[in-house]
Structure 1
Amino acid sequence: MALSKCHFAQPGLKALGHFVSRLGLNTLAEKTEAIRQLERPKTPKDLETGLGLMGYYWNFIASYSVIAEPLQKIKAIGFRHAPIKNPERATYAAKVTLPPMEPAEPDSHQRINEHLGL
């Protein structure tokens, strides 16, 4: 391990798509922005991409399983055979229930337990 790669007494760090601090995990701005930029899925690949992005932050999205269920049903049935009524509703719900992006101050991080109501 090179000393130049070691960082000590840091308030937090980015790791595996999250901001980790002494207060817990939080989302990264670029990941939440990617979810907010999602459009209506037009192909099976778009659907899988959207579910993957939302699934990565499932614990930060309130009622994720309820929100993602219609999209997962479409994926299970088969994109071409599914009656697509309103997939925008599910992606919109995921966008608006995401917490604010990573805060500037490490003391203002919300803990995962707070998101889960524990």
Structure 2
Amino acid sequence: MVLDRLSQEGFKLSLDKCRFCRTSVTYVGYIVSGAGITTDPAKIQAVVNWPRPENVGELHSFLGFCGYYRRFVEGYSCRAKALNSLLRIYPSETGQKTHSAKQPFGDKWTPECDQAFHDLKQRLTAALVLAYANPDQPYILHVDASLSGLRAVLQNNT
């Protein structure tokens, strides 16, 4: 019935690429299952072996990778603050460039940067499962708003 419906809606499937009767599916860096959504261990293994960034280019790569999985790290913005602050020292690629993306950080890499780097690595490798909402359970709605944004999180009370 599913294949017929997809065909009616104009979707074309290659049956040799389809997998049926699976309890979980890997999709764009996530594992989706009946329990919820979690990070793909094959992708997260890269974080385990990630060396400390030595320059702006390497830090951008690390933060870009971590940012993709930020929803799995509670308080991601606060935890990455020291690293993002370090990027503000250097001008953007579109602005007037006085430092190379390959220039070493040197003494600008502080103990706070080191702590943030290791904290993000640890939290990403121990990422939780984002569970689906259960309408039979109580929830807490956390909201925050400002003139430029709005955020809400629906959190299970257990």
- Using the size of structure 2 for normalisation, the TM-score is 0.59
For residue 45 of structure 2, the aligned residue among 33, 42, 62 is 33
For residue 74 of structure 1, the aligned residue among 83, 86, 90 is 86
Taking the aligned partners of 2:55 and 2:28, their CA distance within structure 1 comes to 27
Q: Percent identity?
A: 26
How many residue pairs are counted as aligned between the two chains?
A: 110
- Higher-helix-fraction structure: 1
Residues 112 and 90 of structure 1, relative CA distance in 2, 3 Å threshold? farther
- Higher-strand-fraction structure: 2
Higher relative contact order at CA 8 Å, sep ≥6: structure 1 or structure 2?
1
Give the letter aligned to residue 95 of structure 1: K
Structure 1 equivalent of residue 123 of structure 2: 97
Taking the aligned partners of 2:34 and 2:65, their CA distance within structure 1 comes to 25
- Where structure 1 has 5 or more consecutive residues not aligned to the other structure, the ranges are 102-108
Residues 98 and 117 of structure 1, relative CA distance in 2, 3 Å threshold? farther
- Where structure 2 has 5 or more consecutive residues not aligned to the other structure, the ranges are 1-12, 92-98, 100-104, 134-153
Larger radius of gyration: 2
SS at match of 1:98: helix
For residue 25 of structure 2, the aligned residue among 13, 16, 27 is 13
